[in-house]
Amino acid sequence: MTGVAERSASILDQPEYRVEGRDKVTGAARYAADVVMPGMLQAAYVTSPYAHARIVSIDVSAARALPGVRAVITGADTKPGRLGRRLQDWPILCWDRVLFIGDRVAAIAADTAAIADEAARLVEVEYEELPAVLDADAALAAGAPVLHPDAANYAFLGGTRAQRSHPNVQGQALHEHGDVEAGFRTSHKVYEHTFTLPRTHQAYIEPRATLVWLDGETVRVVTTNKAPFALRQHMSVALGVPEPRIVVDAGHIGGDFGGKGLSIDEFVLYHLARATGRPVRALTRYADDLQATNTRHAATITLRTGVDAEGRILAHTSRVLFDGGAYAAGKPVITLMPGDAMLTLAGYRVPAARVEATTVYTNQVPAGHARAPGQPQNAFAAESHIDLIARDLAIDPLEFRERNIVRHGDVDVTGKPWHGTDGPALLARLRTASRYGPSLARPNQVNWWGWGVALGVRHVGRGRASMVLRTLAGGRVELRTGVSDQGGGAHTLFQRIVAAELSIPLDRVAVSRGTTDAVLSDPGVGGSRVTPVQGSAALDAARKLNAKLAELGRSIDDASEIEVTGEAAQETHEASTYAYALRVTIDRETGSLKIDDATLVADVGKVINPVALRGQLEGGFIFGLGQAVMEELRVEDGRVVTANLGDYKLPTIADAPPLRIELITDHPGPGPFGAKSVGELANPAVGAAVANAVQDACGARVMSLPVTAEKIWAELPK
């Protein structure tokens, strides 16, 4: 067997070359907005200008009379249809009340987009404005308007919705372990800090695009959604169409970052396609994508932590309040909160904790999942909090983390024993690789440059997946998968895994993606799942093929028409840790900051796709940096005011500072050959690393993201 292992290893040492690379660099790669159908119509929507209002009347007669208009539908036509990933609370079109600026009240299908837009302007809607709930605290006030009085009638997919303490709660949870009160009682000092986080947008460069048509009894969907089987289920429940009659085609997706798990167009396009008998397409304008879909949750986070005289954490409580916006439809998890809502002091030994998180309804843009949901908020709060405690105790912030980082078997904030990354080894690597300078060696001295450290934790993805592997002539094989390509390199990963396991050259493994009627069910791209779960299904398929060949006494070169099904059910609870050390310089006149140098140490397990892995970590850093220093989906009176990429700032190439990446690969994960996940590993902790470096440099402590020059300047010690 040594020979096989060696051959496998040498295949994984070969340069990585994206299987879809040629298509992507020649313009041949087909994205949803590139697909056209004969007779295709274009959709436009009539949307609410009010954050909260009752629809008194809708007059569509002028719109219907416009030449080129093929259908105008309203909530009366789609009632009581609602959409959503777990809780279906978002009306396909509103019929009685609108709950945010941008909520849809009518839809048009017309020969051209210009005619559809003109028709939308001709729809007359009379509203009666209602009191709006514009922040999360107001939502929980006694006597607050109840935004979803009919919640008991909403479909809840897979399970039962938990009881709620207030009708405006979307979801809530409480976790407690250890003796929290005793921990605080015996603490040397107890610290409490409150942090605020803004809404941000995933800001994929490809706005949503959707095309729906009826093919006899079959509903055909071309979409930017990254979880086609889940979308099929959501549509089936919301539209009353059996799943086998819905076929979803999700090919290349132009960036996701969590946002494209929620679809909002497919449902109304189905109604328009039925009304017209023709294919109908919706190409979302970027401005509408920024204003109307699935942002990262704004949050207010209060952390309270007690430590002993040596700075060891004894007890921790937290209260996290997320603004979920008008609908909970974007959240797939059963608690209806961002996935990691409860991870408020991740990565540390926490003997006793009480963690309380709540997501509420407001009359704001609905919030949903965004790269490492809940973590950028909680990591910013926790890692700022840790730094503030360390500085108050006059302990170097990196040393404080070394004293508290979770070790094997320690209980962390979840109350479970830790079996993930070797924390001390990670921080030792960070100290060496970054050439970290002990900042407290220069007390009471403002140097205008300084160091910031922050760490983060992300679970290795879990779930089930399956795919089919079959032999072709000439010793070739084909893997058939339902995994769409959102840029992570999944198909190349599968190719390398299968080739390595079968000990055949990479170019003898073809990976093809199929629509939902043509491949086995797949959970979609997300949740740090592709490498550990779908990758394990690819590995299982290759192993089964090897076993089948052995059983038949055949070699792959003379095998034909052998087909096996690879399956994975990955339930291991494991997490990876990563840490940053940043060095920044602050301009003393303006407060603007420059990152001179960044070091990222990440526990990644076995590397299968070296180029893609590096790209995910580099891209995750810059994604996190954008949210750390510039990104904010600003909302005024319920209206998004950063509604284009000129106002919603994203990092450019000129914003990318020198970045050094060090990998920890000797702690195998549950994925293929010991791989872990990296897609959501690097972005959450950047905000706190920046804020901590800023304080180290100039004494200014910024308690909210983004850390802008204005905020730094305002906080400079006078």
Partner 1 sequence: MSTHRLSFTLNGTKHELEVAADRLLIEVIRDDCGATGTKLGCAVGVCGACSVLVDGELLSACLLPAVFADGRRITTVEGLAKNDLTPLQDAFIREGGFQCGICTPGQLIAATALLSEQPRPDHEAIRTWMMGNLCRCTGYYGIERAIQKASGVGGQSPPNRL
Instruction: Please report, as ranges, the residues that interact with partner 1 according to CB under 8 A.
Output: 13-18, 20-31, 33-34, 202-207, 252-257, 283, 285-287, 485-489, 607, 610-616, 618-623, 644-646, 650-654, 656, 659, 661, 663
Rounded least distance, CB 28 to partner 1, Å: 7
Direct distance between the N- and C-terminal alpha carbons of the chain, in angstroms, rounded to an integer:
69
The DSSP output letter for 519 is: S
Rounded least distance, CB 31 to partner 1, Å: 7
Please provide the DSSP assignment of 432-500 as one string. HHHT---GGGSTT---SEEEEEEEEEEEPP-EEEEEEEEE-GGG-EEEEE---BSSS-HHHHHHHHHHH
Nearer to partner 1, 207 or 566 (CB): 207
Nearer to partner 1, 313 or 490 (CB): 490
Nearer to partner 1, 252 or 296 (CB): 252
Rounded least distance, CB 618 to partner 1, Å: 4
Where do the DSSP E strands lie in 134-283? 155-156, 169-177, 189-197, 209-215, 218-223, 246-249, 280-283
Rounded least distance, CB 291 to partner 1, Å: 13
Closest CA to 255 of 291, 298, 292, 286: 286
The distance of Cα 86 from the centroid of its chain, to the nearest Å, equals 16
Closest CA to 532 of 569, 585, 482: 569
Nearer to partner 1, 184 or 286 (CB): 286
Nearer to partner 1, 30 or 188 (CB): 30
Amino acid letter, 619: G
Q: Give the DSSP H/E element, type plus range, for residue 109.
A: strand 104-110
Closest CA to 96 of 124, 73, 123, 75: 75
Rounded least distance, CB 606 to partner 1, Å: 12
Other C-beta atoms closer than 10 Å to the C-beta of 484 total: 26
Nearer to partner 1, 326 or 604 (CB): 604
Nearer to partner 1, 374 or 489 (CB): 489
**Contact (CB, 8 A) for 543 and 568:** no
Rounded least distance, CB 655 to partner 1, Å: 8
Helix (H, G, I), strand (E, B) or coil at 505: coil
In degrees and rounded to multiples of 5, residue 42 shows phi and psi of -115, 140
Where do the DSSP E strands lie in 558-695? 563-570, 575-586, 593-603, 635-636, 639-640, 659-664
Rounded least distance, CB 679 to partner 1, Å: 10
Rounded least distance, CB 612 to partner 1, Å: 7
Nearer to partner 1, 260 or 354 (CB): 260
Q: At what angle do helices 266-276 and 228-239 cross, to 10 degrees?
A: 60
Rounded least distance, CB 292 to partner 1, Å: 15
**Contact (CB, 8 A) for 536 and 570:** yes
Nearer to partner 1, 591 or 624 (CB): 624
